[in-house]
Amino acid sequence: MIRDLSPVTTDLQGKPHGRFTAPPGATPPQLWITEVALDPRGADLSTPGAKGKRPELRPREIERLKAVASLRYLTAFSHKGVRAVDLFTAKDDALGLVSQRFFDDVRRGGGRYPGAGSAGPAMDAVRRLTAAIGRPRRAPAQPLELVQVADANGSVQFRADGSERHPELAYRDVVTFLPFQRGKGSWVAPVYVMTRDLSRTLGEEPYRLMIGGVDPKRARVSLYDPLAGRFAAAAVTGREGGGVTVELDLSDSPRLLFLDVT
């Protein structure tokens, strides 16, 4: 899948793979992910090759894990060129994304649809994500660039031996910035810290992003959190050259940074 999404064509067993490869006389095929899920009963992903089970998670922690995973699947895969992402599954003891409360309400209501209110955090987050992004308007491409990332706390995802060959990995090194163009002079960029283990919640920390490709004099920003269903603080603190500097708080769950030139 990574080979087929890459803009760099590579050879695998004598066949070219890449975003722009296609059978003779055809256009490049679309890539779909028809089933993706995260099982909370799995091994501890923070330790490569781990065999043991993770500590048991509380129901609220499991619901948050599924919601954050769904947001990261949809934003990251679609940004890299996947044309369809199907989340799995609605109802299952381990993988179910719809809360059991919803099915209990259906049963109590004699099979009637109870509304989305009891569907749970994962469905709430996905609904808010798609509603906030909306439908794009056709416009000439205006690419953005993440020029620089700075943090305030110097937090580290994992430490190494301190050598140049084995450096530590700071959270600022894995800040994820996934811009989509919504129309002329309008973008939305899911932003988050790419943690390795979603069962360990990463709290908010302040970051400074230098973003190029936007008119520094007229740019304005806002930040929406689809997991919480509310706006968060974001401010333009620098307007220089061909871009802006934005200060905002990030966590392990995608937030939507809206940039508009008016």
Which of 159, 225, 237 shows the shortest CA–CA distance to 192?
Answer: 225
Whether the CB-CB separation of 182 and 133 falls below 8 Å is answered with yes
Confidence category of residue 53, pLDDT binned at 50, 70, 90: low
Closest CA to 209 of 223, 195, 229: 223
Q: Which of 17-21, 82-86, 155-159, 192-196 has the lowest mean pLDDT?
A: 155-159
User: Could you tell me the pTM of the whole model?
Assistant: 0.92
pLDDT in tens, 233-258: 999 999 988 999 999 999 999 999 99
Rounded average pLDDT over 202-213: 96
Banded pLDDT at 43 (limits 50, 70, 90):
low
- Residue 197: what pLDDT? 85
Confidence at 176, pLDDT banded by 50, 70, 90: very high
Q: Is 167 helix (H, G, I), strand (E, B) or coil?
A: coil
Residues 128 and 121: beta-carbon distance below 8 Å: no
Q: What is the mean pLDDT of residues 80-95?
A: 95
Domain ranges, ordered by start, for the chain = 2-133, 145-261
Asked if residue 42 has pLDDT above 90, the reply is no
Whether 50 has a pLDDT exceeding 80, the answer reads: no
At which residue do the structure tokens 């304005």 appear? 220
Please give the average per-residue pLDDT across 93-97, as a whole number: 93
Q: What average pLDDT score do residues 110-133 get?
A: 96
Which pLDDT band holds residue 139 (cuts at 50, 70, 90)? Answer: very high
Q: Dihedral of the CA atoms 16, 19, 23, 24 (nearest 10)?
A: -100
Token pair listed for 227: 């997991």
**Which pair of tokens denotes residue 244?**
């802006």
DSSP summary character for residue 47: S
In the predicted model, is pLDDT for residue 177 greater than 70?
yes
Does the pLDDT value for residue 40 go beyond 70? Answer: yes
Q: What is the DSSP letter of 88?
A: -
d(CA 115, CA 38): 25
Number of residues that make up the chain:
262
Which band of pLDDT confidence, cut at 50, 70 and 90, is reported for residue 123? very high
The neighbour count for residue 140, using CB atoms within 10 Å, is 6
* Contact predicate 250/193, CB 8 Å: yes
Task: Sort strands 84-87 and 32-36 into parallel, antiparallel or unpaired.
Answer: parallel
Domain 145-261 sits in CATH at: 2.60.40
| Distance separating alpha carbons of residues 232 and 226, to the nearest angstrom | 10
